[in-house]
Amino acid sequence: MNRELTRKVNTLFGVGEDRAKKLGKLGIFTIFDLISYFPRDYEDRTRIKTISELVPDEMVCVEGIVSSVPKRKVIRKGLEISTVRVVDEGGGMEMVFFNQKYATAGLKLGERYVFYGKTVLNGHRMEMHSPEYERKSDNVKTGRIVPIYPLTAGITRNMMAAYIRGALGKTLDLLIDPIPEEYRYEYNLAHQVFSYRNIHYPENGTLLEAARNRMIFEELLVFAMGLGLLKKRRAPIEGIKMEKVSLSPFLDKLPFKLTGAQSRAIENGIEDMCKGIPMNRLVQGDVGSGKTMVAAALAFFAAQNKYQTALMAPTEILATQHFETLSPIFESLGLKCELLIGSTTAANKRKIKARLDSGEIDIAIGTHALISDDVTFSNLGLVITDEQHRFGVGQRATLMSKGKNPHLLVMSATPIPRTLALILYGDLDVSIIDELPPGRKEVKTVAINDEKRKTAYSFMAGEIQKGRQIYIVCPLVEENDELELKSAKQYAEKLGREVFPNVKVAFLHGKMKSREKEEIMSAFSANEIQILVSTTVIEVGVNVPNATVMAVENAERFGLSQLHQLRGRVGRGSEQSYCILFSNHTGEVARARMKALCATNDGFKISEEDLKLRGPGDFFGTKQHGVPNLRIADLAHDLVTLQKAQKVAFDILKKDPTLEMPEHTELADRVKLLFKEEEYGDIFN
Ligand code: ADP
Ligand code: MG
């Protein structure tokens, strides 16, 4: 990449230190960042009318001659208006500016300008309020499609446009196209210089689309390239080579037969661990598909090979639950299993740590507590993270560093459409559990408003009569909001007092002491509590098969995938289960979500719907999945392009595995830019 492009933005005319800092907040540090800061939208200002054609309340351009000097009037304190009269061949009108002292400074009597703004009828007189204007020959703000950029405090729209325009003017000719010509030709991609110009200042809709398509392709190519390199990078590391042993002793202890999909995932894992290179596998399966047992089987396998396993879950509730289900099985097989979480007493922690260090413990189940500095293992062979999307890349890495290239299994229910999972986790191998344990009935889902609340309550009472249990989830806008917490608590109390006086109702929230949470959860597991009112702390992983009703208050506050996760807390046994979504909201998106949820139980279908309903970006951010943020491509919508780009990436990597050929230098530079060294290390190594 040309050095001019990698210079800092403050070297640009008009951008000082202060504004450079503000641009930094938007991720803009270099000139190249600046010209690659693409508009989030466009405003069509191509329509030009004569004054006599104007109708009120339209956004439109008018071309005319200034026929009066600006008049300034103070209407009252804090409101000052300036007006200027403008005429064209067929009429005249006033341009009105509010509290903009210098707005008229650029206008000269008798000269011609193009104005863009909103028309307003004032009595019988047509006016335009706070228009933008320029000379026709400037052709930057009027008479064309103009870009709208995401902004930040201290950077106005005009500043941003001017910076980008300035930077483009200086550097367009210096750009080197990272997409080799043969592929540009094969996939009908516009040239880079053309695309940069037209994505910021499109001449028309068709050219804009050509520019966008090319930019999306380019970004996805760079992305696919990086994933390909990451995947290759893993190969040469030496890993623990385990020996195949029979799983029968373990399988015999289970109260059920594994599903085909579970067995396949376990086999995949065993194959990986016997290869002598570190396993790096994602097990993706819908809620309730039985991922825990896949983890347990592989932990057993590792233990038979005399290696320790660490299983990390994102919440104490979940870790505790895993421990309670798994430790009896392990102990009965003569293996030692311990729970290490934040609320483990100091004395116990000390003991457990010593026994982990000496190798006495085979399987450690826990939360982030497992990654604290003073936890050491004697021979950690397998790291498992449950509900992977809740962990950052860093946390996983810290746990890994406690062994010598241990095997890694990550589990996630966040349902990502299949193809996307395979592509997205280019640096992972993927096992998909696409089969639920037998006998599961679809959870029946209804969305209702307050009018039917009574009916819903009596339905719940009926379920309790049958011996079943119920979750009621109350969303808090902020888990820390005292007021909201209080009202959720009051709701739970009222429910217990007035609606269900004869059964035990308990309230659970995230800020409770761990001990308290555990007590409530285990009482709920034992059916000593029939109705559990809670915040979303029970969202992931919780497993109480006797619970058959999941009721969600203010369901519109949740995203589709989150609702699906919540619903996944029921339907875990053989009884028919139900999900009741309370919502009085009539907004379109909320309604679409409810409808999708009522229509299907299939997590993959739901996530596809979710991707369509959501805006781009937030789903696949670095935080969620450890992949870089994309500027323009949207993995959900641009799936087809992604597949094409991936094909090209493989093709190029086959010819030039480390992008050393001169025709790939620019591509290599772009890959380094997207996969920052601080986060991914040297990706060519
Ligand atoms: P998730 O994939 O959501 O983590 P879990 O591992 O919590 O699912 O399993 C959900 C429930 O299904 C648990 O009660 C578990 O005991 C049960 N289960 C798991 N595998 C099977 C199976 N093969 N047959 C019957 N029940 C199973
Ligand atoms: Mg789970």
> Are 15 and 103 within one domain?
no
Distance from C-alpha of 410 to C-alpha of 390, rounded to nearest angstrom = 11
Residue 37 alpha carbon to ligand 2 centre in Å: 40
> Are 367 and 404 within one domain?
yes
**How many other C-beta atoms are found inside a 10 Å radius of the C-beta of residue 13?**
9
Given the structure tokens 């503000």, which residue do they identify? Answer: 22
Show the DSSP H helices in 387-426 as ranges. Answer: 393-400, 418-424
Nearest CA to ligand 1 atom 17: 290
> Are 412 and 501 within one domain?
no
CA dihedral 247, 250, 253, 259 (to 10 degrees): -60
Q: Are 34 and 87 in contact (CB under 8 A)?
A: no
Per-residue pLDDT, 610: 75
Strands 469-473 and 547-552, by their bridges, are: parallel
> Are 392 and 449 within one domain?
no
Out of 99, 124, 143, a domain closes at 143
Nearest CA to ligand 1 atom 15: 290
> Are 466 and 367 within one domain?
no
Out of 126, 143, 160, a domain closes at 143
Which H or E element spans position 80?
strand 79-88
* Residue 362 lies inside a defined structural domain of this protein: yes
CATH for 419: 3.40.50.300
* Residue 539 lies inside a defined structural domain of this protein: yes
If one residue of 262, 286, 287, 289 were mutated to test the ligand 1 pocket, choosing by the most ligand atoms within 8 A of its CB, it would be 289
Strands 280-285 and 407-412, by their bridges, are: parallel
Per-residue pLDDT, 236: 63
Q: What are phi and psi of 423, to 5 degrees?
A: -75, -45
Out of 571, 600, 629, a domain closes at 600
Residue 390 alpha carbon to ligand 1 centre in Å: 20
> Are 399 and 259 within one domain?
yes
* Residue 660 lies inside a defined structural domain of this protein: no
Q: Are 431 and 264 in contact (CB under 8 A)?
A: yes
Using CB distances shorter than 6 Å, the residues near ligand 1 are 256-259, 262, 285, 287-293, 413, 437, 541, 543, 545, 572
> Are 109 and 169 within one domain?
no
Which is it for the CA torsion 157, 160, 166, 168, positive or negative?
negative
Ligand nearest to the CA of 546: 1
> Are 269 and 358 within one domain?
yes
Residue 289 alpha carbon to ligand 1 centre in Å: 6
Residue 268 alpha carbon to ligand 1 centre in Å: 19
Q: What are phi and psi of 59, to 5 degrees?
A: -95, 120
Nearest CA to ligand 1 atom 9: 290
CATH for 134: 2.40.50.140
| pTM for this entry | 0.67
Domain boundaries, position 29: 1-46+146-175
* Residue 502 lies inside a defined structural domain of this protein: yes
Per DSSP, 103 falls in state T
**What angle, 0 to 180 degrees and rounded to 10, lies between the N-to-C axes of helices 192-200 and 205-234?**
120
Question: Which segments of the chain have a pLDDT < 70?
Answer: 233-236, 388-394, 415-427, 477-480, 539, 611-627
* Residue 88 lies inside a defined structural domain of this protein: yes
- Show the tokens assigned to 368: 């982030």
* Residue 582 lies inside a defined structural domain of this protein: yes
**Per-residue pLDDT reduced to its tens digit, 92-132:** 999 999 988 788 888 999 999 999 999 999 988 899 999 99
**Per-residue pLDDT reduced to its tens digit, 546-570:** 999 999 999 988 888 788 889 989 9
- Tell me how many domains the chain contains: 4
Q: Which atom of ligand 1 is nearest to the CA of 256?
A: 24
> Are 384 and 260 within one domain?
yes
Ligand nearest to the CA of 294: 1
> Are 335 and 452 within one domain?
no
Nearest CA to ligand 1 atom 25: 437
> Are 317 and 330 within one domain?
yes
**Which residues, other chains included, contact 574 with Cβ-Cβ below 8 Å and sequence gap of 6+?**
439, 440, 441
* Residue 124 lies inside a defined structural domain of this protein: yes
| Distances from the Cα of 468 to the Cα of 27, 211, 471, 535, angstroms | 52, 58, 11, 20
If one residue of 250, 256, 564 were mutated to test the ligand 1 pocket, choosing by the most ligand atoms within 8 A of its CB, it would be 256
Nearest CA to ligand 1 atom 24: 437
* Residue 393 lies inside a defined structural domain of this protein: yes
Per-residue pLDDT, 478: 64
Residue 611 alpha carbon to ligand 1 centre in Å: 27
Per-residue pLDDT, 309: 97
> Are 20 and 158 within one domain?
yes
Per-residue pLDDT, 621: 39
If one residue of 293, 326, 567 were mutated to test the ligand 1 pocket, choosing by the most ligand atoms within 8 A of its CB, it would be 293
Nearest CA to ligand 1 atom 19: 290
**Which residues, other chains included, contact 486 with Cβ-Cβ below 8 Å and sequence gap of 6+?**
none
Nearest CA to ligand 1 atom 16: 290
Residue 291 alpha carbon to ligand 1 centre in Å: 7
Per-residue pLDDT, 617: 44
**Which residues, other chains included, contact 525 with Cβ-Cβ below 8 Å and sequence gap of 6+?**
324, 544
Per-residue pLDDT, 229: 85
Per-residue pLDDT, 347: 95
